[in-house]
Each structure stands twice: as C-alpha cells, then as structure tokens.
Amino acid sequence: MRSTPDLCDDHADDVRVVTGLHWHSYGGHEQFGGRIATVKCFEDNSRVKETLATEGEGRVLVVDGGGSLRNALIGDMIAANARDNGWAGVIIHGACRDVDVLRDINFGVLALGCIPRKSVRRGEGQADIPVSFGGVTFRPGEYVYADANGIIVSKGALS
C-alpha cells in the first residue's frame, strides 16, 4: 500500500481526509486499508463482535462508538478472531483494550484511546450504515486507507 500522503497527492479530488482527532495505532499493522464495513454503537460491542466473526475479505471495519473512552469496543480476542477471518483492520471512534497483545496481532487497530473495562453486550447497535466522525462520512463499500499520517476515504479503491 502507498502512503496516505502519496495517495492524497495523486487523488486530491477523490479523497476525504479525517481531521481533528488524535488516533493511536495499537495493532501489529500501522498501515492498512480496504473496503469499508461499518458499525454504529455506544458502549455496546455486540455488532462489532458479530461483524468481525464474518468473512472479512480484506475489509476494514469502521466503528462509530460516539467517541466514548469509558469502555473498550475491541480487545485481543475479537481482534485475533477478525484477523483469522481475513479482516485488514478496525478504526474505532472509541476505545480498545489488551494493548500489549494487540501489538503482536497482524492486524490494524486505530482507536482514540484504551481502557481496561469491557463494553456491555445487550445486542444494541447498527451495522452497514453510513457513519460520520472527524468531518468524514464512511459509507459501506467505499475505501479507507490508514497509516501513521492519518486516515483517508475514497469512493473507489486507490492504487
């Protein structure tokens, strides 16, 4: 994958750039990208676990967790399962946990922060809908690319 600055330069009219948020890379892959799948939830990771248990086909799960840092929407178990199912990574507008293990999983994990407490699982949340944060709307089927520079989104695949 090319760097997000290079992709931005070559496709300036086609990319949206996520702004105004501080991301931390917790996974084994700092650079990752792919077709977008989405979940919108709040302190309940039912849909996250469920979605990452399906075949990833190289996709990236973008989770709008409302920015909550009160509990973790993903940890080492869900991340390892996602990697095994062929997901490229997750971008969590919220928090994760088990960070010592996450860094050894060949998988991308971007989140706003980490917290020891797990989330509740009451079956709430929505999958496969457009989600928005950082000034950008992420639509299922579009493409996202992330690296240490930041996150960009485009309608089609970029090379």
Ligand X SMILES: O=C([O-])CC(=O)C(=O)O
Binding residues for substrate: 75-78, 97
Gap between the Cα atoms of 64 and 141, Å rounded: 16
Subset of residues 25 to 54 that bind ligand X, contact rule: CB under 6 A: 45
Verify binding: residue 119, ligand X, rule CB under 6 A: yes
CB of 73 to ligand X, least distance (A): 7
Taking the mean position of all CA atoms in its chain, how far away is CA 159? 20
**Unique residue bearing structure tokens 């496969």:** 128
CB of 98 to ligand X, least distance (A): 6
Sequence-separated (6 or more) residues with CB below 8 Å from residue 32 = 1, 60, 88, 89, 107, 108, 145, 146, 147
Task: Report the chain's terminal Cα–Cα distance, integer Å.
Answer: 7
Q: Which residue is nearest to ligand X (CB)?
A: 75
Gap between the Cα atoms of 97 and 77, Å rounded: 10
Sign for the pseudo-dihedral over CA of 38, 44, 45, 51? negative
Subset of residues 89 to 118 that bind ligand X, contact rule: CB under 6 A: 97-98, 118
Residues binding ligand X: what is the number (CB under 6 A)? 11
Query: Please, which residue, 7 or 52, has the CB nearer to ligand X?
Result: 52
Query: Please, which residue, 81 or 149, has the CB nearer to ligand X?
Result: 81
CB of 101 to ligand X, least distance (A): 8
Gap between the Cα atoms of 154 and 12, Å rounded: 10
CB of 103 to ligand X, least distance (A): 14
Site string for ligand X, 54-93 (x = CB under 6 A): ------------------x-xxxxx---------------
Structure tokens at 49: 């676990």
- List residues near ligand X by CB under 6 A: 45, 72, 74-78, 97-98, 118-119
